[in-house]
Amino acid sequence: MEARITAITLGVRDRAASRRFYVDGLGWAPTAEVEGDVVFIQAGHGLLLCLWSVDDLAADAGEEIGFGHNAPPISLGQNVASVDEVYRILDAAVAAGADMVAPARKQPWGGVSGYFADPDGFRWEIVYNPGLTFDEAGNASFSEGV
């Protein structure tokens, strides 16, 4: 199996509210949409963020999906090009209705990061890492010591 992720599907309680948060609030553009069912958002090179009803996802996956303390520990991340961008995105997320989980702060490894939770509680880390770069193919490389 090739080490590659092409889709992240969020099981959301209110698809319309999640669409408003990501599309209207954060300004992300839908790539495709099945009205009342699923929204596909291009979230990077070869990566889709899918907003799908938690009930439909549970039925498809064959298991109950929990929130809060019952949810698996996961965070989604976006690496950005500057410290200012970390603050700008965190502010935009809060203005769009997100909860600030951890304000932006300097990290021991030299970067700056903070977390917000979307309307369904999915946690996003917005991070500036001065030692992380991506080439045109989307491959990550880290400088020494990072």
Supply the CATH number for residue 130's domain: 3.10.180.10
Domain carrying residue 135 = 74-141
| 43 contacts 8 by C-beta, under 8 angstroms | yes
Are 30 and 82 members of one domain?
A: no
Residue 48 and residue 79 in one domain: no
Predicted TM-score (pTM) of this structure: 0.79
Q: How confident is the model at residue 72 (pLDDT cuts 50, 70, 90)?
A: low
Note the pLDDT of residue 119: 92
Do 86 and 128 fall into the same domain?
yes
- Domain membership of residue 69 (yes or no) is no
Asked if residue 95 is part of any domain, the answer here is: yes
Residue ranges of E strands in the chain? 7-12, 30-34, 38-44, 47-53, 75-79, 99-106, 112-117, 123-128, 132-134, 140-142
Average pLDDT over residues 82-89: 97
Question: Where does a domain end: 64, 96, 118?
Answer: 64
The number of domains in the chain is 2
Confidence class of residue 143 from pLDDT cuts 50, 70 and 90?
Answer: confident
Single residue among 46, 64, 82 that ends a domain in this structure: 64
The pLDDT, as a whole number, for residue 27 is: 95
pLDDT at residue 146 is higher than 70: no
Higher-confidence position of 71 and 37 = 37
- pLDDT digit string, tens, across residues 87-139: 999 999 999 999 998 999 999 889 999 999 899 888 899 999 998 888 887 77
* Average pLDDT for the chain: 87
Same domain, 5 and 59: yes
Residue reference for tokens 């599309």: 23
